[in-house]
């Protein structure tokens, strides 16, 4: 055994690096992650990129088509809307709101969900099963419907709709966390750690969490795509972002009046939503496939 060969060309990647290596092998997933990176940059630095104030109305320049149209102009790259506001700037600001809030609320949902899930998974008896079955029952209701109900109670508005979607997403995280924790708790290495005299927080941080991260990333991407769709849907139904807050779903709803004379007003926000959800899903899929492949090795 002491003559173990260390090959120079061979690396010993950590489980994470291995996942990343498997992930890179899929070109579609790579395209997805680049797109996702682009949206992240837009969400972070949106206002610096946008050429105009998204709320600036100009009656002289209403409904100018995008620049590639013969009657379009380069000054408004993606054209303008019925009130003469620059569509490009509005899209950037709207993406910032939609994407940013989605990421934020997924993070909150994940934190709360994991906390409850770990508690449910590590404890036994009545308390655990109440948490478990009650929240599992909630998963039957589609998140969007749940969100609409919550918004109907607490009132419309972007912040309220965010809370609503967060609450609707929590059961998913609880469910998956609890299942993973239950599975892990049966493993012998947890027993070994317990025999070392580890406390529950120690077991959680060193034994459970590192083995859970990948599940969380995958579930996080799924939740993110749900969140984006829900937040735009609520915006579209006028239950979400109101007034001066620009949001992709609300943009769609506003442009409905001019859909025949200025179709780009509907097509461009729609395309943005599509790309956003698509990239998130592709990345999530790629991650899941990479994980499966890694575990099979």
Partner 1 sequence: MALLDIKNLTLEIDTEAGWIKALDKANLMVKENEIQALVGESGSGKSLIVRAISGGLPQQMRITADRLTWRGKNLLAMNGEERREIMRRDIAVVFQDPIGTLDPTVSLGEQLEESVPYEFVGSGWFWQKRAVRRKIAIQLLHKVGIKDHVATMRAYPHQITTDIGQKFMIAMALVSQPALLIADDPTRGMEATTKTQILKLFKRLNQTKGLSILFVGHDLLAISSMADSMTVLYCGQTVESGPIQKLQKRPLHPYTKALMESAPSFRVDLAPKSPLVTLPGTIPTLQHLPIGCRLGPRCERAQKTCVQAPEIRKIHDHQYSCHFPLHSKAK
Partner 2 sequence: MTTILSAKALTYVSEAPRRFGRRKHEAFKLGPFDLTIEKAETVAIIGGNRSGKSVLARLLCGAMQPTDGEIIFHQDAPHSSTAAKQQWQKQQVRMIFQRSSESLNPALTIGGILHEPLKLNTDLSYAQREEKIAAVLSQVGLLREHYFFYPHMLSDGQQQRVAMARALILNPSVIVADEPFAALDPSVRSQTVNLILQLQRDLGLSFVFISHNLGIVRHIADRMVVMNEGQIIEAGRTDTLFRWPKHEITQRLISAHQSLIPQASDGKRLK
| Interface with partner 2 (CB under 8 A) | 1-2, 4, 6, 12, 14-15, 187-189, 191-198, 202, 206-207, 210-211, 213
Nearer to partner 1, 4 or 260 (CB): 4
Q: Which is nearer to partner 2, 206 or 274 (CB)?
A: 206
For the CB of residue 293, give the shortest distance to partner 2 in the complex, in Å: 14
- Residue 176 to residue 215: CA distance in whole angstroms: 8
The site partner of 260 among partner 2, partner 1, none (C-beta below 5 to 8 Å per kind) is none
Binding site for partner 1 (CB under 8 A): 1-5, 7
Q: Which does 207 bind (CB under 5 to 8 A by kind): partner 2, partner 1, none?
A: partner 2
Token pair listed for 164: 């609503």
Which of partner 2, partner 1, none is residue 7 near (CB under 5 to 8 Å by kind)? partner 1
Q: Which is nearer to partner 1, 10 or 60 (CB)?
A: 10
Q: Hey, what are 293's tokens?
A: 């492949």
Q: Which does 210 bind (CB under 5 to 8 A by kind): partner 2, partner 1, none?
A: partner 2
Cα separation, 161 vs 148, whole angstroms: 8
3-state secondary structure at position 86 = strand
Shortest CB 31 distance to partner 1, Å: 22
* Contact (Cβ atoms closer than 8 angstroms) between residue 182 and residue 123: no
3-state secondary structure of 220: helix
State the binding partner of 5 from partner 2, partner 1, none, CB within 5 to 8 A by kind: partner 1
């Amino acid at each position: 055994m002491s003559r173990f060969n260390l090959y120079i060309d061979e690396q010993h990647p950590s489980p994470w690096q291995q996942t990343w290596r498997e992930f890179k092998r899929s070109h579609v997933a790579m395209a997805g992650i680049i797109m996702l990176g682009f949206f992240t940059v837009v969400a972070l630095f949106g206002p610096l990129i946008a050429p105009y104030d998204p709320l600036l109305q100009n009656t002289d320049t209403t409904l100018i088509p995008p620049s590639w149209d013969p009657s379009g102009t380069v000054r408004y790259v993606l054209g303008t809307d019925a009130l003469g506001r620059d569509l490009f700037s509005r899209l950037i600001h709207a993406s910032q709101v939609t994407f940013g809030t989605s990421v934020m609320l997924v993070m909150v949902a994940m934190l709360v969900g994991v906390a409850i899930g770990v508690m449910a998974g590590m404890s036994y008896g009545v308390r655990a099963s109440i948490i478990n079955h009650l929240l599992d029952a909630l998963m039957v209701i589609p998140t969007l419907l749940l969100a609409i109900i919550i918004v109907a109670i607490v009132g419309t508005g972007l912040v309220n709709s965010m809370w609503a979607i967060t609450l609707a997403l929590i059961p998913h995280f609880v469910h998956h966390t609890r299942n993973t924790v239950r599975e892990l708790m049966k493993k012998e290495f947890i027993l070994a750690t317990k025999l070392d005299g580890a406390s529950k927080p120690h077991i959680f941080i060193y034994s459970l969490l590192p083995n859970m991260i990948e599940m969380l990333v995958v579930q996080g991407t799924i939740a993110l795509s749900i969140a984006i769709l829900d937040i735009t849907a609520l915006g579209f139904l006028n239950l979400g972002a109101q007034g001066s807050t620009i949001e992709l779903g609300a943009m769609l709803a506003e442009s409905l009046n001019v859909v025949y004379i200025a179709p780009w007003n509907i097509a461009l926000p729609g395309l943005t939503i599509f790309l956003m959800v698509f990239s998130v899903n592709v990345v999530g899929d790629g991650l899941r496939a990479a994980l499966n492949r890694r575990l099979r090795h």
